[in-house]
Structure 1
Amino acid sequence: MSRSVRPAPGAAALLALTLPLALGACGAGIGVHGTPGGSGVRDPYFPKAGNGGYHVTHYALTLSYDPGGRHLTGQAVITARATRALSAFDLDFAGLRVESVSVDGSRARWNRAGQELTVRPHDDLARGGTFSTTVRYSGTPQTLTDPDGSKEGWLPTADGALALGEPVGSMAWFPGNDHPSDKASYDITVTVPKGLQAVSNGELRSETTKGDRTTFSWHTAEPMASYLATVAIGHFDITRTTGPHGLPVYIAVDPTQSKASQEVLAKLPGIIQWEEDNFGPYPFSSTGAIVDRPDDAGYALETQNRPVFPGAPETGTLVHELAHEWYGDSATPRSWQDMWLNEGFATYAEWLWEEDHGGDTCQQTFTALYDGTYGLDDPNSIWAFPPAKPSGAAHISDHPVYERGAMVLHKIRQTVGDDRFHAIVQGWAAAHRHGTVDTAEFTAYVEKMAPGKDFGEIWKDWLYGDGKPARP
C-alpha cells in the first residue's frame, strides 16, 4: 500500500539554500514536465518506507548533539539520481523540525504528513539527472517503537546516545530514502562536547577539537542501506588493531563493559578470517564493534563495518553479527519479506562455527530444533510461519526467520553435499556483493549452481510451506 504525494500548502514558506552545491550535476531543465515520486515503495511489511522516483548515491550528514538537553542539529546533503522526471519527491523523516529545504542551490517548497517530507523543487527534475537536496533540521530526535515492541531510532544513553535503524529507525535522525532497496555511500560528521566520542560506520577520517567541542568525521565508501547506519555517542575505550591482510579493526567499548568484553573481542580478527574462509573475501574496508551498556538497547545489530552490542557479546553472537557483513550488509534484502536471507545465513554461521570448534554439528542442531529439544521457550514457535513469508511486520525477527531459515540452508547442504554448498554460499555473496537480493533470486541461484538436483520439496515445505514439514 502506498500513499500519493500531497501538494505543498500555499502558506508554506520559500526557504533559501545558504551553502553552495557540493556534489552532482543539476538535474533540472527547461521544458521538463515531471510527476510526483511515490511515497513508499510498497514493501509488503512497511508500505510507507522508502520513496519512488529517485535513487540516492550519497548522504553527507553533519550533526551536532548536546546530550544534556538531548538536542540534535543536523544538515543532510542528499545526492540522488532521478529515475523519472520529477515535479516532487518524498523523503522519510520523523519528528525533528525542518528548518529549510533546497534543491540544486534553489529554494524548494516542502510540507510534511506523518513520516513523509514532500519536496517540490523550483524546477522539475529530468529523468536520469543528478540532483542534490539539502535539509536543515533540529530538535529532540525520537525513539521509535517497532511493531515487535523493540526500540530503535535515537536512543538516549547514560552518557550520550545510540542511533539504530532496523527496520525504519534512521528516519528519526536524518531524512532519506529509508528502505533497504536503496543503498548509498555516507559521510557522517558528528560534533559533541569535548571529552565524549562519536563512533559511526566506515573509517574515521578526522578528529578535531575546537574550544569545548570535538568533531568526528566518518566515511563509508561502500554502499550501505539506511537501516545499517549508526552513531554511538558517549565515553568509549577505543582499540585500533588490524585483522586479516591488514584489515583495519576499530573497536569502541563503554568503559563499564571493557573488562567483560576483552576476551571475546580479542577473537574478532580470527572470526573474520574464519568467515572469509567460509564466505569469501570480507566485503568492506574496515571492521570492528561497538559495545554499549546492556540497558542501552535490547538487541545486537549488524550496523555496517561495526556491529553494535548491548554489553559484552557471547562468541556466537559476535560470529552472527559479523556474518551479516556478507549476508545482509553487502548482499542486502530488497524488501523486508526477504529478512531470512539475512538471519538464516547469520544463524547458520553460528552453527558452522560450533561445528568447526568442537560443539554440536549442524546436523545435531538441526535435529534438536526439529525434535523440540533445542532449548527454545516454545519449541513450536519455529513452525508458526514459513521463513519466506513472515506473518506480519511484528514477526520479521521471529524464530522462523532465524532458526527455520538456517534449517533451509542445512537442507540445501544435505541435498548438494559440503563442497557444492560451500561454493553456493561463497558464490551467492560474491555475485551480489554490495547489491540487493530477494528470495526468488536465491532459489534460482541454488538451482543453477546444482543442476540436476531437486529442490522442490525444500522450497515447498521448508521455505514457503505452512506448519511443520514431515520428518526429514
Structure 2
Amino acid sequence: MRRSLRAAIAVLTLTGAGTVATGAPGHAALPGWGRPTITTAAPQPGGPGLGDTYFPDYGNGGYDVAHYDVRLRYDPGSDRLSGTTTILARATQDLSRFNLDFLLDVESVRVNGWAATTTTDGVHELVVTPSRAITKGQDLTIVVRYAGVPSETLVGGYTGWTRTDDGALAVNEPESAWWWFPSNDHPLDKATYDISVSVPTGVEVISNGVQPRPPLAEAGNRTRWIWRTTSPTATYLAFLAIGQYDIVTDTAPNGQPVVNAYSTTLGELGPAARASIERTAEIVEWGAGLFGPYPFEAQGGVAGPVDGIGFALETQTRPVYGPGFWRRGANTSVVVHELAHQWFGDSVSVARWQDIWLNEGFASYAEWLWSEEQGEGTAQELFDFTYASYPEDSGFWQVRPGDPGPSSIFDDAVYDRGAMALHQLRLAVGDDAFFAILPAWAAEHRYGNGTIARFQALAERISGLDLDDLFTTWLFTAGRPDVSGSAARKAAPPVEPKSWAKIREAHRLLVR
C-alpha cells in the first residue's frame, strides 16, 4: 500500500480514538460450523477488541465470521448509503453480548431471527445484546439494517470513505469497513463476501472477486452490481469503487478472469494508467514463478478518479490506484508492489499491525526483483542507491520497521529499510535459500496470518543459519546499519538512471 499524507495523519488521529480493550479473549481461526457446546458457565460479553498491540480496540472477541453478505443502495448525488449486511459467524465463547465495528446509523439488528438491542461506544463500536444468550459453538446469523452519509460520518474528524464528483471510494487501511458494513474489523478474522450495490443506471460499481451474474436492471432506472469473492479476505481488503468507469475484461494465462477499470475522469493520465494496469496478468504470472501459485480467483486493477485517493491499496484480487501514480507516465513498479501484496499482506496477512513489515517490506522488495528481471537495475544497485539516499543523521533510520509504532506503520522506513532488510537476508542466506523462503512463507500461511518471529524461524529453518543478529539490526534497532563488512556496497552510483528515478517515485508515500 502507498499512503497519502492525509491518510497517514488520520492513522495518528485514530490511534487514540478508541477504547482500549483489556482481557480480550483469544481469537482462533474459524474451524467451521458446529453444534453448540453445553456448558454451565454464565455467558460473558465478547471483547471490544482483539488486543492488537497497536490498535487494541480493532476487531472483536467472542465470535468468528465466515461470510458477509453486503447488500447496499447508494445515491452519488447525496452520498447516502443504505442497506443490509448479513453476517454468518460462529460463537467462540458463551456470549451475553458482542460488538461489531461500525459507524452508520443502525435501524435494526437481528440475531438468529430475534430482535436485538444495540448501543454504541461513541467511537466505532456497535454493542449488540441478543434476546437470547449465545452458546459457544453456536452458529450465528446477524442481520444489520442501516443508513447514513459516510462522508459526513467522522472519527476524530476523519472519514475513511472518499466521496468523488461521480461516486465514491471505500478504500483505506487499516480501517475501511466501518463506513459501509458492520464487521469484525481485524485481519485475524477473514471471511468470504457477496457484495451487491444498487446505483442509478449508468453508474458502475467495482469490487472484489468475480461477477457471478451481469448487472441487474431494477425499478426506478437503477442497476444492481453483484460481486463475489470465495477466498478468505480481511475486512480492510474489501472495497467499493463507484462512479464512471470504463471496464475492460480478459482472461489471464492461468485461465482466471481479469477485470480492469479506468475512471473516465483520468483524461491525459488514462493511457499511462492503462499501459501499467493492463500488464497485471503478466506481472501475476511473474510473481507466481517467485512466490508460488497466485492465491485468489480473479485478477485486475482499478485506476481511480482524479479527485479520489492519493495512494494505492492492495484490495484483494483488484488493487485500487490513485491518479498520482500516472503523472510521470506508465508505472509498473506500483502495479508490482500491489500485486506482490496479494501473496504478502492479503493471502498471508499480519496477525498484528506491528508486523506491517511483512506486507510493505516484501512488496517493496518485489519491485526491486521486477527491476532486476526487466534489466532496469539490479536489487544490489537499488540497495546501494536507497541506502545512500538517507544520510546517517536522517530520522528515517530512527524508525524500526519491525516495531515502527502505531503512528508510523506507513513510514518510508517500513518500505525502504524493509526492502533493504530483505536484501540483507538474501545476501546472508544466498539465492537458493532466499528464493525457497519466499514461496514457503506464502504456502505455509496461505489464507492465514503471520508474524515476524514466525518468518525468522522459517528463514532459519530453510537456511540453517542463526539470523537473530540480522533481524535485530535491520528491523528492531534504531540507527543506520553499517554495511561495510557485508556484501552490500556503501557507495551509490554517482548518476541516477531514469529507471531508478521512476522506482524511487513509486516508493514515495506522498503523492504530490
TM-score scaled by length of structure 1: 0.90
Q: Deviations over 1:434-462 (max 9, x none)?
A: 111111111111111111x2312212211
> Is 1:80 the equivalent of 2:89?
yes
> Is 1:244 the equivalent of 2:253?
yes
Q: Deviations over 1:327-370 (max 9, x none)?
A: 00100001110111000000000000111111121111112222
Shift of 1:26: 8.3
**Structure 1 equivalent of residue 435 of structure 2:** 422
User: Following the alignment from structure 1 to structure 2, what is the Cα–Cα distance between the partners of residues 51 and 379?
Assistant: 41
Change (3 A) 1:73 1:444: same
User: Following the alignment from structure 2 to structure 1, what is the Cα–Cα distance between the partners of residues 171 and 148?
Assistant: 18
- Unpaired runs of at least 5, structure 2: 1-18, 24-31, 487-512
Say which is worse superposed, 309-318 or 177-186, in terms of deviation. Answer: 309-318
> Is 1:397 the equivalent of 2:410?
yes
Shift of 1:145: 8.0
Matched to 1:267, the amino acid is: R
User: Following the alignment from structure 1 to structure 2, what is the Cα–Cα distance between the partners of residues 470 and 421?
Assistant: 22
Q: Secondary structure at the match of 1:74?
A: strand
Shift of 1:27: 5.6
- 1:195-274 paired onto structure 2 within 5 Å: 195-206=202-213, 207-211=215-219, 212-257=221-266, 258-274=270-286
Q: CA contact under 8 A between 1:28 and 1:125: conserved in structure 2? A: no
Say which is worse superposed, 32-41 or 103-112, in terms of deviation. Answer: 32-41
User: Following the alignment from structure 2 to structure 1, what is the Cα–Cα distance between the partners of residues 239 and 393?
Assistant: 34
Q: Secondary structure at the match of 1:457?
A: helix
Change (3 A) 1:335 1:143: farther
Matched to 1:277, the amino acid is: G
2:117 to 98, 109, 112: 109
User: Following the alignment from structure 2 to structure 1, what is the Cα–Cα distance between the partners of residues 202 and 480?
Assistant: 54
2:141 to 124, 132, 143: 132
Q: Secondary structure at the match of 1:204?
A: coil
Q: CA contact under 8 A between 1:372 and 1:380: conserved in structure 2? A: no
Q: CA contact under 8 A between 1:372 and 1:379: conserved in structure 2? A: no
Matched to 2:239, the amino acid is: T
Say which is worse superposed, 381-390 or 79-88, in terms of deviation. Answer: 381-390
Q: Secondary structure at the match of 1:350?
A: helix
User: Following the alignment from structure 1 to structure 2, what is the Cα–Cα distance between the partners of residues 146 and 263?
Assistant: 38
**Structure 2 equivalent of residue 161 of structure 1:** 168
Identity within the alignment, %: 43
Q: Secondary structure at the match of 2:160?
A: strand
Shift of 1:379: 8.5
> Is 1:433 the equivalent of 2:433?
no
Matched to 2:133, the amino acid is: D
Q: CA contact under 8 A between 2:151 and 2:163: conserved in structure 1? A: no
Q: CA contact under 8 A between 1:41 and 1:47: conserved in structure 2? A: yes
**Structure 2 equivalent of residue 16 of structure 1:** none
Q: CA contact under 8 A between 1:56 and 1:78: conserved in structure 2? A: yes
Shift of 1:384: 2.1
**Structure 1 equivalent of residue 497 of structure 2:** none
**Structure 2 equivalent of residue 51 of structure 1:** 60
**Structure 1 equivalent of residue 361 of structure 2:** 344
Matched to 2:189, the amino acid is: D
- 1:291-306 paired onto structure 2 within 5 Å: 291-306=303-318
Shift of 1:173: 1.1
**Structure 2 equivalent of residue 321 of structure 1:** 338
Say which is worse superposed, 25-34 or 431-440, in terms of deviation. Answer: 25-34
> Is 1:445 the equivalent of 2:458?
yes
What is the aligned-residue RMSD (CA, Å)?
A: 2.3
Q: Secondary structure at the match of 1:198?
A: strand
2:396 to 361, 376, 382: 382
User: Following the alignment from structure 2 to structure 1, what is the Cα–Cα distance between the partners of residues 36 and 181?
Assistant: 23
**Structure 1 equivalent of residue 20 of structure 2:** 2
Q: Secondary structure at the match of 2:380?
A: helix
Change (3 A) 1:143 1:48: farther
Matched to 2:361, the amino acid is: G
Q: CA contact under 8 A between 1:24 and 1:131: conserved in structure 2? A: no
Q: Deviations over 1:61-114 (max 9, x none)?
A: 0010011111100211111111111111000112x1100011000111111112
Shift of 1:31: 6.6
Q: Deviations over 1:107-153 (max 9, x none)?
A: 11111112111111111111122111111000101478899x9x762
Say which is worse superposed, 282-291 or 151-160, in terms of deviation. Answer: 151-160
Change (3 A) 1:340 1:27: same
Change (3 A) 1:64 1:30: farther
Shift of 1:317: 0.3
Shift of 1:380: 2.6
Shift of 1:29: 7.9
Change (3 A) 1:449 1:54: same
Q: CA contact under 8 A between 1:280 and 1:429: conserved in structure 2? A: yes
Matched to 1:272, the amino acid is: V
Q: CA contact under 8 A between 2:272 and 2:331: conserved in structure 1? A: no
User: Following the alignment from structure 1 to structure 2, what is the Cα–Cα distance between the partners of residues 430 and 214?
Assistant: 40
Shift of 1:30: 9.8
Q: Indicate the structure with greater strand content.
A: 1
Matched to 2:107, the amino acid is: E
Q: Secondary structure at the match of 1:185?
A: strand
Q: CA contact under 8 A between 2:106 and 2:144: conserved in structure 1? A: yes
2:321 to 277, 298, 309: 309
Q: Deviations over 1:169-212 (max 9, x none)?
A: 21111111111111000110110001101110011122101231
Q: How many residues are paired up?
A: 447
Q: Greater relative contact order (Cα 8 A, min sep 6): structure 1 or 2? A: 2
Matched to 2:112, the amino acid is: D
Shift of 1:32: 7.0
Change (3 A) 1:460 1:32: closer
> Is 1:354 the equivalent of 2:371?
yes
Q: CA contact under 8 A between 2:108 and 2:145: conserved in structure 1? A: yes
Q: CA contact under 8 A between 1:26 and 1:131: conserved in structure 2? A: no
Change (3 A) 1:223 1:284: same
> Is 1:333 the equivalent of 2:350?
yes
Q: CA contact under 8 A between 2:264 and 2:305: conserved in structure 1? A: no
TM-score scaled by length of structure 2: 0.83
Shift of 1:243: 1.2
> Is 1:70 the equivalent of 2:79?
yes
